[in-house]
Every structure is written in structure tokens, then in C-alpha cells.
Amino acid sequence: MVNIDFDLKPKDLEKALARFWELSGEKIHAIEKEYPQNQGSPVFTVNGKYATRGWTEWTQGFQFGSSILQFDATGEASFLEKGRLKTLQLMAPHTSHTGVHDHGFNNVSTYGNLLRLMVEEKIPYDEWEKNFYELALKVSGAVQASRWTDIKGGGFIYSFNGPHSLFVDTIRTVRILMLSYSLGHVLQEENDRKVNLLVRGLQHAKATADYSVFYGKGRDRYDLWGRTAHESVFNTNDGNFRCPNSQQGYTGFSTWTRGLAWAMCGFAEELEYIDTLTDKELEAYGTRSDIEAFMLQAAEASCDFYIEHTPTDGIPYWDTGAPNLHKLGDYLSKPADPYNAYEPVDSSAAAIGAQGLLRLGHYLDKKGQVEKSKKYWQAGLTVLKTLLQEPYLSTDKKHQGILLHSIYHQPNGWDNVPKGQKIACEESSMWGDYHARELALYVQRIINKDPYYTFFNCLS
């Protein structure tokens, strides 16, 4: 389990964060200079150079969003201008993309971050530019909400696998519905029927909490507190749940750790968002206490599972049921080994999960649950400290990634196995790099006593 450093303070990481942002800027420049953009979005590195994987282009917002975060962290205007220009030139198709569940990734990372900077007065106010960003978020939220499957008692935003498929990933992208709602927008369906985007977002969150997260109540023989399933499969004829499944994990009965991390981060930040709404707004779905209860249970359970089932330094292996983990011996009682001969680690899961730990800790502290909050907050700092050091921090100027040892799709064999290694390692992913930057920015703003960083800071 994670060996939580209870003495670590955000300020202790200040020098490491400065080094991180210096390296991060170099990586962004290298990608801009060397990556052929006409090949599609950069997805993951192969021998240190970013390559594409024509699937759903779900990483383009992370590329340009990284430039925007770099500006936020350093104040270097050139990164802002590049992020702003690329958002204008290339992100419009993502706002109306009807074929994916990734709107909250692509569009909050770009339009959302740019709008946030304006609301936070980090960039000059311009009414038409603000309207432009808001319109993009409004449309994106409605389009995302239209990918809908009804089930008994609610429904969910279905994945690109089809209407039967609920992905745990989408709990982090459902925030686009929340932004669209808070900006005053609705989805209009046949006969001009208006769909409340907050209600639809909460219904999706409830389905995810009910079916993607396990609570040790005996749903199956592998039901452990906080375990998650990547995919939940439904019968679309009658709305009944059929089984857990996995696309990028090992099985539906083991835990793909990046999916676990999406749950940790997604539920924690939705708790923060719900805390800003009035009881009257929430009445369209139900009571505040019921909403907070299911979200908090899912957040705490998934974060607890991460802490218990991750090596001591806070970096998880790609799946807790990976078939060769037993060959590593008592791997949970020592730091993760990205260069082992049997199973890859996934640093991107660590970057995403650490933000979930920190946000949950912060939320509980605000609610007066000081002792419980400390465990999650300090666990998040512990993971970040590991990520800010080698072998996870990429210091090689020839390598375009900032966060090493990220895994994309182990079952499909998409990840590069470097010469001389037996498993995939030493590579980066665009989502891993972005979330490492987002995590670093979150803590840096805490250190600098800047406004607390949330996805909904873009709401004026």
C-alpha cells in the first residue's frame, strides 16, 4: 500500500515544481517543432517521439490545453498565444463530435481553461472572446448529453462502443454537462423537449457510482471496497445491467488502474461542484444529501482502493489483476519498478489519481472531517512527490514527454517496448502529460495562495 508521508507539505515541493515547469516548457516546444500535426493528434511516444493513433482524436485538447496550463503556471505569454490559436484553428470539430464520450476532456482543457483565465483576470477581458468560449462549452455539453441510454431509474452517457456501454472514464468528462448547465444551456430533443443538463449529468454520475464502482456488498466474487470496472454492459432492450467488462484493463473482474483514477478524480471534483449549487437547483434531481452521499461513497471507496492496492511510492501497475504480477513477489510492500520484466506500471493513472486524492482531502477538510481528509491529502502529495522525480520525470531533452512510464492499451499491445526491455516502459502519453501538468498547477496554486483551481472557475 502507499506509504503516506504525513509530514510532507505543498511548500516542500516548490523547487521540484519549478524544475517540472522548466522541463515542461521544453517538451511543449519540442512537440510544436518536431511533430507533424497533419498526421492527427499526438497520442503517445514511441522511443521518445510523439506518434498518433487514429481512433477518436481524444487527446488533441490535452495538447493545446498543456500550453494553456504552462502559461497559467509560468506567465509566459507565448504559451497562451499558441494554446489560444490552436484552439481557434483546430478544436471546433470537437464541440460537435457526436461519436465520442470525451467532450469533457477535449473542450474543458481548451475552451474551459481559456475562459477560466479570463474570469480569473489572468488574461484581458474581451466580451466577444468570452462569448465564444462559453458558446463552445454550451454546445459541447449538449452534444455530449445526447449520447444517452435510458436504464431503470436513470441513464448514462454511452461510450464509443455503443449504447450498451458505460465507461468509468466518462465520470471525468461529465463536467462538460455541468458547465453547459451553469452557463444557462439546455439540450433540446424531438418536439423541442428540453433536457436539464444538470439532471442528466447527475443521472450519469449515479449510474457510474452504482455500476462502475464496487462497495464490498457481494455483487460478485470479486467485489472489493473501491474496486472499479472499466466498462459496465447493459441490455438496451430492457435497461438491465448485464455484466462488468474491460477494454483497456485485464478483465471486468480486475481493476484497470487508470479507470480507477478517473473515478477518483471525477467524483471528487463533482463533489466540489455540487457544493456550489443551491438546494433548489438540485431539487430537479433529488436531495442534496442523497447526491452527496452516493458521490462521497464512490470517491472515498475508489481512493481507499488506490491507497491499499498501489505500491509504497504511489505508482500503480496498469491493472491490479495483471496476470504476471505474482512474479514480482510482494510488490505492494515496495516501490513500483517500471523496468521489471513482467508487468508495466502506469504513471498516468498516478497523475490522475493524485488529483482525486487531493481534491477529496480538500473537500473533507472543508466539511470538518479533518482526520479523514488528512489521509487523502497527504497521499496525494506523496504521489506527486514521486512523479516529480526520476524515473518518472523526463529529463532527457530528446524525449518529448514529461511523464515517463505511461501505458495506453496493454491488451492491444499498442505500447512500445524499448530495445533491451521486456515490457512497455520509458514512454509518455498526451493525457498523462496533461494531467501531470494539471496536478502540478493545482498544488502550485495552493503554494502561491492563488484562487483554488477547479474546472468550474470558468463560471463568472
Residues 163-186 have pLDDT tens digits of: 999 999 999 999 999 999 999 999
Number of neighbouring beta carbons within 10 Å of residue 235: 11
pLDDT of residue 140: 98
pLDDT of residue 38: 82
Distance CA(229)–CA(243), nearest Å, equals: 10
Architecture of the domain spanning 10-458: Alpha/alpha barrel (1.50)
The answer to whether residues 140 and 103 touch, using CB atoms and an 8 Å cutoff, is: yes
Ordered alpha helix ranges (H), 212-250: none
Number of neighbouring beta carbons within 10 Å of residue 173: 25
CA angle, 221 then 226 then 231, to 5°: 75
- Name the pLDDT band for 40 (thresholds 50, 70, 90): confident
Number of H helices, E strands in the chain: 15, 9
pLDDT of residue 186: 98
Q: What is the full DSSP assignment across 360-425?
A: HHHHHHHTT-HHHHHHHHHHHHHHHHHHTSTTTB---TT---SB-S--S-TTTT-S---TT-SS--
Average pLDDT score, the chain: 97
- Please report the beta strands in 176-239, taking only residues with DSSP state E, as ranges in sequence order: 187-188, 194-195, 231-235
Give the residue-averaged pLDDT of 369-386. Answer: 98
Residues 380-433 have pLDDT tens digits of: 999 999 999 999 999 999 999 999 999 999 999 999 999 999 999 999 999 999
Distance CA(433)–CA(11), nearest Å, equals: 22
Distance CA(92)–CA(100), nearest Å, equals: 14
Give the residue-averaged pLDDT of 110-132. Answer: 98
Give the residue-averaged pLDDT of 351-377. Answer: 98
* pLDDT exceeds 90 at position 39: no
pLDDT of residue 287: 98
pLDDT of residue 122: 97
- The per-residue b/e assignment along 328-357, b for 16 or more CB within 10 angstroms, e otherwise, is beebbeeebbbebebbbbbbbbbbbbbbbb
Which amino acid, one-letter code, is at 62?
A: F
